[in-house]
């Protein structure tokens, strides 16, 4: 496996530029110092700021949408359909990308039961979706959002329109290419800072991001480079019909195949934990709240309550249990999502 050949194929993959790359790459010396006061042997900590992409409120899903929307455009799409929960990061970035490209967008958002707060269907990410001009369809708890979206697509086709359905999280073979690009960008930034990561920590949602990173780490190892384990923390738990390991590997292999590469992605590099979901997807718990507060107060960086707050809780637990040594370098991927905090304000009061 030649990494340069892989990166050339990746650069040649169809995409619509939506971001400003590279995103910032920073040390987290303040967090390391805070953890060291607990008597912990803490590794060197770094963060890649995918929350600082330019559209909407920022986030890594723009990476995926660059490739997904290139496919949509090639198929003649004139309206985008997407689904998620009311506080989904993905749907905000879809709405922002649609506004940027001048394409109408309809979102099918699932209500939470019980609600996160008295106004979780009016504030945070759903508020941004409406400001960005997306047509929002609120779907009752437990209802099949995908079926509702497909029915709407049929209605639009009957009107002579060309709808394009974006799967949840943009987790497709095309979407994983954006995450693979992010992996190599992170690797370049780490090497420019004088090191190769000893581990990378990522958040597992619909799994396209983790899949792209796993494909990149596998390619690096196959080329004779170092093994970089991927510490992946699931945030969906049993609220998703396909369990985390299965969906990560399926998307990773799709990514691999889309680049016409032989073999399959090495699961041996995946360090998956499903222990930090808490009460369920989009449900807060004390460990998540502590992680959000700790990073905010030691670094001035704000995580979100649904995804990064939970994966950071997992990373902090691994550090406190001695998973790394003080001379190692661990990079955390911040995927964005800050607006969801406002829908959970009572939990942070």
Q: Is 170 a catalytic residue?
A: no
Q: Which residues contact 259 (CB under 8 A, 6 or more apart)?
A: 6, 9, 10, 13, 177
Q: Which residues contact 278 (CB under 8 A, 6 or more apart)?
A: 284, 285, 287, 288, 310
Q: Which residues contact 37 (CB under 8 A, 6 or more apart)?
A: none
Q: Are 211 and 246 in contact (CB under 8 A)?
A: no
Q: Are 67 and 178 in contact (CB under 8 A)?
A: yes
Q: Which of 88, 97, 206, 207 is catalytic?
A: 88
Residue showing tokens 């309809």: 106
Provide the annotated active-site residues: 88
């Amino acid at each position: 496996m030649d990494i340069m050949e892989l990166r050339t194929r990746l650069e040649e993959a169809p995409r619509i530029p939506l971001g400003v790359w590279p995103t910032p790459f920073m040390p987290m010396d303040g967090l390391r110092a805070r953890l060291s006061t607990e008597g912990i042997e803490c590794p060197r900590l770094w963060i890649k700021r995918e929350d600082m992409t330019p559209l909407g409120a920022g986030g890594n899903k723009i990476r995926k949408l660059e490739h997904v929307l290139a496919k949509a455009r090639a198929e003649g799409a004139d309206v985008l359909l997407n689904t998620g929960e009311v506080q989904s990061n993905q749907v905000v970035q879809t709405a922002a990308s649609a506004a940027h490209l001048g394409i109408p967008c309809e979102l099918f958002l699932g209500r939470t039961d019980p609600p996160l707060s008295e106004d979780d269907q009016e504030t945070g990410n759903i508020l941004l979706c409406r400001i960005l001009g997306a047509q929002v369809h609120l779907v009752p708890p437990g209802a099949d959002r995908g079926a509702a979206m497909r029915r709407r697509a049929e209605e639009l086709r009957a009107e002579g329109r060309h709808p394009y359905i974006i799967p949840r999280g943009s987790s497709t073979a095309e979407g994983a290419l954006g995450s693979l690009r992010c992996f190599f960008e992170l690797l370049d930034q780490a090497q420019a800072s004088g090191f190769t990561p000893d581990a990378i920590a990522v958040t597992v949602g619909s799994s396209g991001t983790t899949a792209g990173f796993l494909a990149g780490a596998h390619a690096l190892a196959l080329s004779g480079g170092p093994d970089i384990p991927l510490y992946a923390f699931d945030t969906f738990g049993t609220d998703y019909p396909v369990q985390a390991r299965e969906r990560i590997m399926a998307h990773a292999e799709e990514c691999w195949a889309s680049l016409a590469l032989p073999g399959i992605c090495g699961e041996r590099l995946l360090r998956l934990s499903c222990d930090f979901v808490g009460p369920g997807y989009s449900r807060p718990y004390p460990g998540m709240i502590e992680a959000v507060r700790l990073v905010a107060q030691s670094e001035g960086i704000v995580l979100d309550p649904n995804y990064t707050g939970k994966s950071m809780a997992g990373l902090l637990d691994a550090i406190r249990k001695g998973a790394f040594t003080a001379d190692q370098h661990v990079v955390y991927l911040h995927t964005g999502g800050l607006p969801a905090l406002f829908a959970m304000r009572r939990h942070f009061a």
